[in-house]
Amino acid sequence: MSTDVIRTQVAIIGAGPAGLLLGRLLALQGIDAVILENRSREYVEARIRAGVLEHPAVDLLTEAGVGDRLHAEGLRHDGIYLQWPGERHRIDFPKLCGRSVWVYGQTEVVKDLIDARLEAGLPLLFDISDTAIHDVETDRPRVTFTDADGVARTLEADFVAGCDGFHGVSRPTIPDHLRTTWERVYPFAWLGILAEVAPSTDELIYAWHPDGFALHSMRSTTRSRLYVQVDPSEKVEDWSDDRVWEALATRMALPGWSLQSGPVIEKSITPMRSFVSAPMRHGRLLLAGDAAHIVPPTGAKGLNLAAADVKVLFEALDSFYRTGSTALLDAYSDTALHRVWRATHFSWWMTSMLHPATGPGADPFDHQLQLSQLKYVTSSEAASASLAENYTGMPFA
């Protein structure tokens, strides 16, 4: 079987937000890259995930020339609501930290980045298989794969960017004895729905309730995205649409407010974990995004952390190609991990504050601690400013 050899400067594995954004930033500086993706374009663009973009991530996408639709269709939000039974309080972002967030689905970010890449005629290979990374400890690493036509191919590069997510091949390419991982698996999951109904709120509602956490988010003025805390063992088929809407209405109930329900067009359960793997570099292999870390979605950090990694990685690669210096590449892992741990702590803190243990595991003492934390965060300017600056995104390094 023929083996086509392709040569580039940066081989990018994965066409999620991390891989696509890195490809965009490199292309703007004239640095060649080839992006390899093992799913179809349709699958990648339809995968429903994150919904909130931090201010620094929005600035980065705008500067990269892919923010037009984001600014035209995205919803700028200047706050969120934190709620517990009978009370709902707003955290005012601009007043507290001078920043905002934008509600714009990850699906749309991915579509914008794919469109930009294909319009520029740059290589983005979908539906590949058998991805394998070789020789990353040399200055000529390779990626072998089978392309969509079943042809065995080799991609030779100066660097390999592992942007292939939590289940990708990049992180395992770093030898176990050189890797350290930290993990916390939470005793609950999120059941999420996408519904064709106008949001019942102007900004996101994060609600603590003894039955479990609930989140009212959205994708547009006509499409809502909502979540309820469930046991990780729950099955989607055990949650009828009515049961989900009833749980949401109960957990977000407030005098004078009502939740509008509507047709559910997607329903899924996402487990919750915190995971960090270090280092994020091994020789000429550099990891970015979910390939190196996972955060529980309570802090709306996953996609944004991928963007932050990519900015640091792009600057390191750009510096190498412009000056020959490896200083930023040598510092990449430590620089990225500083922000990774900040986002990991914030995501753990938001998750711990808002998710009560339920059923036999329910501990009234823990419930009181969570309620006290919520009352403090919504009444103290210092505490709410800390939440606001973390939620809207600490400035990039």
3-class DSSP state of 132:
strand
Given the residues 81, 227, 332, 391, the one annotated as active site: 391
Nearer to ligand FAS, 101 or 252 (CB): 101
Given the residues 56, 141, 296, 297, the one annotated as active site: 297
Q: Which residue from 300, 312, 353, 377 is in contact with ligand PHB, where contact means CB under 6 A?
A: 300
Q: Is 296 in the site for ligand PHB (CB under 6 A)?
A: no
3-class DSSP state of 124:
strand
Nearest Cα residue to 291 out of 340, 325, 232: 340
- Contacts with ligand PHB in 208-237 (CB under 6 A)? 217, 225
Given the residues 293, 301, 311, 355, the one annotated as active site: 301
**321 burial class (0-12, 13-18, 19+ CB within 10 angstroms)?**
middle
* 227 a catalytic residue: no
- Give the DSSP per-residue string, 208-241: --TT--EEEEESSSS-EEEEEEE-TT--GGGS-H
Please give the Cα distance from 176 to 329 (Å, whole number): 21
- Give the DSSP per-residue string, 74-94: -EEESEEEEEETTEEEEEEHH
* 297 a catalytic residue: yes
* 301 a catalytic residue: yes
Radius of gyration in angstroms for the set of CA atoms belonging to the chain, rounded to a whole number: 22
Query: DSSP secondary-structure letter at 291?
Result: G
Smallest distance from the beta carbon of 315 to ligand FAS, in angstroms? 18
CA–chain centroid gap for 59, Å, is: 16
* 77 a catalytic residue: yes
Question: 225 is in the binding site of which of ligand PHB, ligand FAS, none (Cβ under 5 to 8 A by kind)?
Answer: ligand PHB
Question: 298 is in the binding site of which of ligand FAS, ligand PHB, none (Cβ under 5 to 8 A by kind)?
Answer: ligand PHB
Please give the Cα distance from 147 to 165 (Å, whole number): 20
Smallest distance from the beta carbon of 106 to ligand FAS, in angstroms? 5
Nearer to ligand FAS, 266 or 366 (CB): 266
Nearest Cα residue to 147 out of 331, 4, 17, 10: 4
Question: 23 is in the binding site of which of ligand FAS, ligand PHB, none (Cβ under 5 to 8 A by kind)?
Answer: none
Query: Which chain residues interact with ligand FAS by CB under 6 A?
Result: 13-19, 36-39, 44, 49-51, 106, 128, 131, 163-165, 168-169, 270, 289-290, 297, 300-303, 306
Nearer to ligand FAS, 258 or 316 (CB): 316
**Residue closest to ligand PHB (Cβ):** 51
Question: 390 is in the binding site of which of ligand PHB, ligand FAS, none (Cβ under 5 to 8 A by kind)?
Answer: none
156 sits in which H/E element: strand 152-156
3-class DSSP state of 192:
strand
Nearer to ligand FAS, 39 or 95 (CB): 39
Q: Is 52 in the site for ligand PHB (CB under 6 A)?
A: yes
Nearer to ligand PHB, 106 or 261 (CB): 106
The alpha carbon torsion through 85, 87, 90, 91 (nearest 10 deg) reads -60
Nearer to ligand PHB, 128 or 247 (CB): 247
Query: Which positions lie near ligand PHB, rule CB under 6 A?
Result: 50-52, 204, 217, 225, 297-298, 300
